[in-house]
Structure 1
Amino acid sequence: MVATIVSPRIMRIGGGAVAQVAEVLGTLGLKHPLVVTDPFMVSSGLARRVLDALAAAGIAAPVFSDTVSDPTDTVVEAGVAALAQAGAVDCLIGFGGGSPIDTAKAIAILAAGGGRMRDWKVPRTADLAALPVVAIPTTAGTGSEATRFTVITDTERDEKMLIAGLAALPLAAIVDYELTYSVPPRTTADTGIDSLTHALEAYVSKRANPYSDTLARRAMALIARNLRTAYAEPHNATAREAMMLGATLAGLAFSNSSVALVHGMSRPIGAHFHVAHGLSNAMLLPAVTAFSLPAALPRYAEAARAMGIAHEDEGDQAAAARLVEELRALNRDLAVPTPRSYGLDADRWRALMPTMAEQALASGSPANNPRVPTKEEIMALYEQVWAG
């Protein structure tokens, strides 16, 4: 097979790397950024880490800080308007979790192509951006700093839209694990399982290739060995660094392979019930993995070995069984709730299952799964996940 590989042109990775943001911009010939972030990054003072580094280089950057968790088309439209008002801007800096980075990507796409955000969802390819994006993540989870994807909610249709193309690929990424020290345990857990899901789905995807396999295996090893420590010891530098690198490698892996059924089923949960993306992935991961095992047993077994939960000489059936049990144990150890214990409405959940199943299939992600489900099988999985 011939694989097409894409990645940011520059990646600065390591503790304190955010201080080099002006140097990265200068290397790329950029001088006038608009910083896209969220209200917490501003109120907590964390945004000063990038703004002060820019100011030290004589760059006064305007800020758009109206992004929201699970970014919406209306926020993207507001960002395009802010971009127009900012004057001479030659790049966007997405600073924060996946939501500000995804918003910055979507602003660049909508500003270039016009129309409405829904006009750019898959299967259409978004390859033209108005401006390049420099991504600086503050969580170890989404991998958005390294991917050619962004996910935006259509507020009129309650639909999370997958938007894909070179326009969504950051020109540069600055990956500084020290920015994650203040991330609370719940977010550490959810974004950590999100990144593990990225790596595992990239590895078992029908679109996997030798390049993505290498990244996915290393990402799974880093995340599986360090997530519990990062959750329990927020200032453990070794664990935080490993999680940040694992999340970025997982992002590169699925950007050059794909995600699959977990993500396809997760997006509708976020759209209809406003559950954080990483958390909805965590709710789904054990059940969807158990459903998918028979179609790719050797792959799942190898994932278990990469994660260090199965011996190299252990048979595929036993190793894959260990993987499912480990995913269940991880959810228990990280206090991942079921949809029911999270407080979602049972009647609404069941009433929306047909719609969520249809939206999952329409996203295209389930088609990459080793075992491609029917609508009825997805509904059955939603019912299984509800009960826990």
Structure 2
Amino acid sequence: MNNLGFFKNPTQITYGMGAANQLREIIDAQGFKNVLIITDGGIVKTGLIDQLTRQLDGIHYAIFDETKPNPTVTNCDDAMLALKQINADVVVAMGGGSSIDVAKAVCLLATNGGSIAGYEGIDTCSNDLLPLVAIPTTAGTASEVTTFTVITDEERQYKLTVGGIRLAPKWALVDPLVTKSLPSHITASTGLDALVHALESYTSKMATPISKTLAREAIRKISSHLRQAVYNGDNMVARDNMLMGSLLAGLAFNNTRLGNCHALSHPVSAIYGVPHGVANSVLIPHVMEFNSLAVPELFSDIAEDMGENLESLTLMDRAVAAVDAVKKLSKDIGIPTTFAEFKVDDSQIDRMAKDAMLSGNIAANPRITTYEDVVALYRKSIGGALVEVV
């Protein structure tokens, strides 16, 4: 029997080629006067910001382009200063998940005050946020429709999550054309992140018929188009399917949370600076193997959606095929399969495991997970290193 539960999507989505050109329509309809654009230096170099600002004739605006790949509390504080200087009444985020996450934090701080480090948790702010328009340039995080922001606390070397319905952008302009200039290695890592979103949402304990439908379509779109997007970035059919797949996965996991892979990846990124998509890529085969014993029927579905030949296979063999399909896709697009180049070793496993266990994603994982399980998963991901449990 299916328990429908609930499904939320507070963001108004405009999707399609040229969707980014709808920004001025929103600004005029809402009567906004002062616009802060939050982005990063790489996006500025592509010329995408110039295309955006051409829509702002007669509008007072400023650009904050100092977003870091794993944005920090200090990064958010600096963006907040830029917002105050222009007295912005709306924020426009153009970039990947990092830029959008910084923008969410700034919109929260603009109306609630303090430091973003003080808002860790769900529904921790009292006031509605400053309006946010999100324009994603990657097919990856789906932060343009999610109700979370993830920020690194440098002092603790810890990724904190702030969540709640208020965190969702008010508008998302989702335009495949702005992903065309994305370099192949970023296309690969962000695309793998989007796939992990779909995989973990589909197998989540909180999954519903609606979220499962979205997640499976995301798996089909991403797994069948990620290679083409990486190796032929001008292929707009691939870019379109990747961005739609990322969006669908975001709508799904926004309602289901994720799982062990994301719980374990955040500490690795916070301590060692491993890009989020790469951390997920290294961890996901080990997490899938761990979870497949609990819900093999769901992993059989994943193998089918990824186009594996399942004829005459047992249920468990089908589940294994799903793991193999993800490994092959990751290898084909050149994503690292180990943490070797990032010098991740056994010295921090105990600390990372304890941080991972604080994540709400552990509770949504389809297999009950203990601290010892997390330690074992970390060991496998770095080649069997031993760890002293304290």
Q: TM-score, normalised on structure 1?
A: 0.93
Aligned position for 1:68: 68
State the shift of 1:41 in Å: 1.8
The one-character-per-residue Cα deviations of 1:310-330 (angstroms, maximum 9, x if unpaired) are: 559865323211101111111
Distance 2:216 2:104 in 1: 27
Distance 2:294 2:235 in 1: 38
Aligned residue identity for 2:353: A
Aligned position for 1:217: 216
Structure 1 pair 367–139 and aligned structure 2 pair: CA distance change class (3 A): same
Residues 123 and 165 in structure 2, CA contact (< 8 A), matched pair in contact too: no
1:16 aligns with 2:15: no
Instruction: Kindly report which structure 2 residues correspond to 1:1-388, keeping only aligned pairs within 5 A, or say none.
Output: 1=3, 3-55=5-57, 58-87=58-87, 89-123=88-122, 125-126=124-125, 128-311=127-310, 315-345=314-344, 349-387=345-383
The one-character-per-residue Cα deviations of 1:13-62 (angstroms, maximum 9, x if unpaired) are: 1112111211133344544321111122223322112111233xx32421
Distance 1:310 1:263 in 2: 28
Aligned position for 2:387: none
- Match of 2:71, SS state, is coil
Aligned residue identity for 1:52: R
Residues 95 and 101 in structure 1, CA contact (< 8 A), matched pair in contact too: yes
Aligned residue identity for 1:91: V
Distance 1:363 1:2 in 2: 24
Aligned residue identity for 2:358: A
Aligned residue identity for 1:59: I
State the shift of 1:306 in Å: 2.4
Where in structure 2 are there 5+ consecutive unaligned residues? 385-390
Moved more, 254-263 or 302-311: 302-311
Residues 126 and 168 in structure 1, CA contact (< 8 A), matched pair in contact too: no
Aligned residue identity for 1:73: V
Aligned residue identity for 1:48: D
Aligned residue identity for 1:267: H
Residues 12 and 173 in structure 1, CA contact (< 8 A), matched pair in contact too: yes
- Match of 1:62, SS state, is strand
The one-character-per-residue Cα deviations of 1:298-318 (angstroms, maximum 9, x if unpaired) are: 112112222322559865323
- Match of 1:61, SS state, is strand
- Match of 1:222, SS state, is helix
The one-character-per-residue Cα deviations of 1:239-263 (angstroms, maximum 9, x if unpaired) are: 0110011011111110011111000
Distance 2:60 2:122 in 1: 38
State the shift of 1:229 in Å: 0.9
Distance 2:86 2:146 in 1: 26
State the shift of 1:164 in Å: 0.8
Aligned residue identity for 1:362: L
Report how many aligned residue pairs link the two structures.
382
Where in structure 1 are there 5+ consecutive unaligned residues? none
Residues 354 and 375 in structure 1, CA contact (< 8 A), matched pair in contact too: no
Aligned residue identity for 1:378: V
Aligned residue identity for 2:382: W
Q: What percent identity do the matched residue pairs reach?
A: 38
Distance 2:252 2:309 in 1: 22
The one-character-per-residue Cα deviations of 1:109-128 (angstroms, maximum 9, x if unpaired) are: 12222232222112554474
Residues 127 and 165 in structure 1, CA contact (< 8 A), matched pair in contact too: no
The one-character-per-residue Cα deviations of 1:336-358 (angstroms, maximum 9, x if unpaired) are: 2144432415xxx2110001001
Aligned residue identity for 1:383: R
Structure 1 pair 126–219 and aligned structure 2 pair: CA distance change class (3 A): farther
Distance 1:148 1:3 in 2: 18
- Cα RMSD, aligned residues only: 1.8
